[in-house]
Amino acid sequence: MNNIHAHRSSLLMVIMVICTLTIISTNYMFTKSIVTDINNSLTEKEYKKIWWKENYMILQEIQKRELLSYLSSLKNEKPELIKEIFENQKNIDSTNNNVLDINTINDLKNESYIKWNSWALITIIEFSDLECNFCIEQHKKWIYKEALDKNNDNVNYIFKNFPFPNHKNSQKEAEAGKCIENIAWWEKYLEYIDTIYSTTKWGWEWYDLQELPKLVEILGIDKIQFNDCLENWFAIKQVEKEFVQWRMLWINSVPSSMILNNKTWEYKIVSEVIDYITLESIINEITR
């Protein structure tokens, strides 16, 4: 009799385990299907803005070739810099390439305006080109603000210039931004960045440099100070400093987003247009 009860109990246990696994498996497949559908929908919207996938891929390929061409010339012109970058990468690889050291963190944050709560757990650093079509689109979505709203002020934000060498106006636009930052502090600097992105159209109709004096006036920046800044080397050096930072981190395209846990120094880099689902997933991953 006892054997019969024991057999029944074992059979019931097996049935319960099978049912549980079936439910878990079904939920997983259903959730995965939903996430896939959402990602496909977002990707399709991005393709539509640049007249479908072929053009999207062409633009990405153009960016890659521009960067490779620039790095090729850099190897000939400044071999000592390339050596320094590789040495730095060896040091990172020898420890953990998903964790930053304190010197790198200080270098990224010092002299940078940290928007929102400076003591937040998560810092998002946007490396961007003011003439990059995909950068324009990402910035206009302002998903970082969504991350702030949904994480109870536990997120802050830093903007870094990544002027692509072959984009004709991006270097000058970045220098102008640094001059505005130097003259009128960081709030006006980010207002300038937002204005450039909000008034620049998709395609090849970039912001007209002839409009910069008018924009400077609208922002309330002293014209004489602004022109003096552009004529000296200050702004160029500031942009170059940020240029070095993305090289040392091996960031190879724009837009790129670094998501950094300020407690553990763990980080992730996404080198493409990032959507909020991906951003939220990374935040959850590095704060688990």
Inform me whether the pLDDT recorded for 227 exceeds 80.
yes
Assign 96 a pLDDT band (cuts: 50, 70, 90): very low
Inform me whether the pLDDT recorded for 267 exceeds 90.
yes
Q: Please give the pLDDT value at position 268.
A: 93
Residue type, 170: S
Domains in the chain, start-ordered, CATH in brackets?
Answer: 98-286 (3.40.30.10)
Threshold 0.95, pTM exceeds:
no
CA distances 116 to 123, 166, 189, 191, 193, Å, are 10, 33, 15, 14, 16
* First-to-final CA distance of the chain: 50
Q: Please give the pLDDT value at position 93.
A: 43
Q: Please give the pLDDT value at position 278.
A: 92
**Phi, psi (5° rounding) for residue 187?**
-60, -45
Mean pLDDT of 6-32: 56
Inform me whether the pLDDT recorded for 116 exceeds 90.
no
**How many CA atoms, within 13 angstroms, populate the side-chain half-sphere of residue 254?**
29
Mean pLDDT of 265-287: 91
Mean pLDDT of 172-189: 90
Q: Please give the pLDDT value at position 26.
A: 52
Mean pLDDT of 196-211: 77
Inform me whether the pLDDT recorded for 245 exceeds 70.
yes
Taking the CA atoms of residue 274, residue 278, residue 283 and residue 286 in that order, the dihedral angle to the nearest 10 degrees is -110
- DSSP-assigned letter for residue 121: S
Mean pLDDT of 55-68: 67
Assign 257 a pLDDT band (cuts: 50, 70, 90): very high
Inform me whether the pLDDT recorded for 223 exceeds 60.
yes
Smallest Cα–Cα separation from 269: which of 68, 129, 136, 123? 123
Assign 163 a pLDDT band (cuts: 50, 70, 90): confident
Assign 145 a pLDDT band (cuts: 50, 70, 90): confident
